[in-house]
Structure 1
Amino acid sequence: MRVRCSQGIQVQEYHGNFCKRIPTDIDLAAIDCDKTLMVTLKHDDKLQDGSECAFQCALLYTTVYGQRRIRVTNLSLPCTNNLSNLFRLADLDSQFVCFLKQAASEIPSNPPLVIQDQVTNFCINILLSYRKFCATVSSSGQLILPEALKLLPLYTLALIKSTGLKPDGRIDDRSFWINYVSSVSTPLAIPLVHPRMFAIHDLDSQEAIGSHVPPALPLSSESVHDNGVYLLENGQDVSIYIGNSVNPDILQKLFGVSSVAEIPTQYVLEQYDNPLSKKLNDVVNEIRRQRCSFLRLKLCKKGDPSGMLFFSYLVEDKVPAGACKYRSRFKARKVGVLLDTCFWDQQLTLIYLLKASWPLCNVRIPMPAPVRTALPLGG
């Protein structure tokens, strides 16, 4: 596969799972519509405002029937010297995939803490550039974020706390994470670090969004109660967490047992003759339909390793040790620095340090539900 660009832009680097024998081409053993490759472009000449930049991706491949074919994808985009247009039309999902793949490519050669700083600085520089060059109002106590990238700080924090960037993570988990991220598709990138969590025990009282899927909960331990049953999906697995004080009637409806101890660890989801069980099966089936592969089902209980694994996905929790670590690194900055993000009552709370000598400003802004856009490769 080769990517070509018009004058003024050139390919700097490829990111993904491939073999590179010559500088201009990459070799792939196989590829499908669920895989994504990232190409870093270098701007090496002056571009005229309003002119067009052209890009071409050519893939020479052999079909399963032994036919040799070439698939060519062309793209032409207008150039602009207006930064406001760039921020207004920014694609959050694609932007975050770049963060994710760049972080994965740096893991073999840099410590996790160094990569955490790099990812954080990427986010900081984007927000600082918008505040400096695009914002019309810039008071010291006001947090200003581009509309298209409002959730970027939250996803950046989730990436910092992800499996691949944990300093104390297992090497096997990190190796798998690197390999998976290198080719992960755009729709699966955000769920990998910021999963969706739903309350299952009160599905009867919830209104589904779209088809069968209820509203998502904040990824915080404050959303998880001991008398509830919760489902969490990250694009790879579906984890069902069961509290110790769940109503026996709910357990009977969902799992066919009267106590948590009776539920086997190797659990196979069944549908019982009641509305709650039917809705749970509908939710799981709909989530599996939305994803590229058949998601595995895991059962998590409080007090055992599976329960600890479930809570490790709650990236919006404030970890005292981690928070101090992040805060000490950021205080040295003299420009706007993102310290922490968390959800409270459907709002995104951002602690924003404008200068090292200025007081912290805790600002709340309403956050709409994010819109997911699937960008498949191929067809």
Structure 2
Amino acid sequence: EDSLIHYTSVTFQAALLYTSSKGERRIRVHTLSLPVSSNLTEICSNADQEAIVSLVAKMAADRSITSSIQEARDAMSNVACDILKACLSNNLSNRAFSLLVPYSLRLIPLYMLSMIKSTAFRAGSAPRLDDRAYYLDLCKTLPTQYLMQILYPDLYPIHTIEDKSQIIQDGEDELHIPQRVHLSYQNIDSHGAYILDTSEYIYVYIGKAISDHFVQNVFNLGTFSALPLDSYSLPELENPLSMKIHNFLSYL
């Protein structure tokens, strides 16, 4: 509760006392030191939007249990609005700052909307109670990296994996990683094939105009119409395209 004006940094420390699987008593200490600033522009420009979203998800999960799902949804909307209002009011008084919202916070509205539409916080009775409880627990317990992936999954075009991909040397083998694209209908080509990685599940979407060459080399089938709707695995075929895709799936 003391004033931080005269401090250049503050330190947070948390200790966890636990018993290992071998019965050993251990203490794990986490220490975090952060700079102090009274300049709102500096704070906004250096904000960690993924950490903010992770914290809001945990607070919203608590709110949904102690109050209601609707109040949790309203709280998430208010967070996005409050951040935008603070940035806007600060930028109006600081003409040197050209963007209404700093680059570090540009995706906050998108992530909040993703949370509101997620199984954990979706309105109505559409999500089953067990599913909602499961995803609320994930909001409370998942590391930030995996929580963000559930809220905003990774989408990769695999039909261009041979031509447009980053190549990483994995021992003696080359790993081809397609460039991730935004979750937008504009990035979905009917001639393409895509992998959607949600951290929990991996989905393969095949455009209806995909080439027969791709279908033959990846699924060992003749045409798109021959693809089964309930397939849960990809055949491992002895051709470069199939091997590149399977290596990428193993990497994920």
TM-score, length-normalised on structure 1? 0.58
| Aligned position for 1:156 | 112
| Aligned position for 1:147 | 103
- How big is each residue's C-alpha offset from its partner over 1:38-79, in whole Å with a ceiling of 9 and x where there is no partner? xxxxxxx32233354332211111122211122223333343
Contact 1:252 1:258 in 2 (8 A): yes
Which of 120, 123, 128 lines up with 1:167 in the alignment? 123
Counterpart of 1:91 in structure 2: which amino acid?
D
Matches for 1:114-193 after TM superposition, within 5 Å: 114-134=71-91, 136-137=94-95, 144-168=100-124, 169-171=126-128, 172-193=130-151
SS in 2 for 1:216: coil
| Aligned position for 1:275 | 240
Matches for 1:277-292 after TM superposition, within 5 Å: 277-287=242-252
Deviation at 1:266, TM superposition (A): 4.1
Which aligned segments of 4 or more residues in structure 1 are displaced greater than 4 angstroms? none
Contact 1:96 1:189 in 2 (8 A): no
Q: Greater strand share, 1 or 2?
A: 1
Contact 1:199 1:231 in 2 (8 A): yes
Which of 166, 190, 205 lines up with 1:208 in the alignment? 166
Contact 2:61 2:140 in 1 (8 A): yes
| Aligned position for 2:184 | 220
Contact 2:160 2:178 in 1 (8 A): no
Distance 1:263 1:199 in 2: 20
Distance 1:221 1:67 in 2: 53
Contact 1:131 1:138 in 2 (8 A): no
Matches for 1:1-379 after TM superposition, within 5 Å: 8=1, 45-134=2-91, 136-137=94-95, 144-168=100-124, 169-171=126-128, 172-208=130-166, 212-259=176-223, 260-263=225-228, 265-287=230-252
Contact 1:130 1:145 in 2 (8 A): yes
Deviation at 1:183, TM superposition (A): 0.4
Counterpart of 1:283 in structure 2: which amino acid?
F
- Structure 2 vs 1, CA of residues 50 and 239 (structure 1 numbering), >3 Å: closer, same or farther? same
Structure 1 unaligned blocks of 5 or more = 1-7, 9-44, 288-379
Deviation at 1:138, TM superposition (A): 9.1
Deviation at 1:271, TM superposition (A): 2.5
Contact 2:91 2:100 in 1 (8 A): no
Counterpart of 1:65 in structure 2: which amino acid?
K
Q: Greater helix share, 1 or 2?
A: 2
Structure 2 unaligned blocks of 5 or more = 169-174
Distance 2:127 2:9 in 1: 47
CA-atom RMSD in angstroms: 2.5
- How big is each residue's C-alpha offset from its partner over 1:209-255, in whole Å with a ceiling of 9 and x where there is no partner? 76522112231234334443211011111101123343222111011
Deviation at 1:265, TM superposition (A): 2.2
Distance 1:107 1:53 in 2: 31
Contact 1:196 1:234 in 2 (8 A): yes
Distance 1:209 1:158 in 2: 31
SS in 2 for 1:70: strand
Pick which of 198-207 and 182-191 moved more.
198-207
Deviation at 1:274, TM superposition (A): 1.8
Contact 1:100 1:189 in 2 (8 A): no
Contact 1:83 1:134 in 2 (8 A): no
Deviation at 1:191, TM superposition (A): 1.1
Distance 1:55 1:218 in 2: 35
Counting matched residue pairs gives: 242
> Larger relative CO (CA 8 A, sep 6+): 1 or 2?
1
- Structure 2 vs 1, CA of residues 107 and 77 (structure 1 numbering), >3 Å: closer, same or farther? same
- Structure 2 vs 1, CA of residues 61 and 151 (structure 1 numbering), >3 Å: closer, same or farther? same
Distance 1:241 1:70 in 2: 46
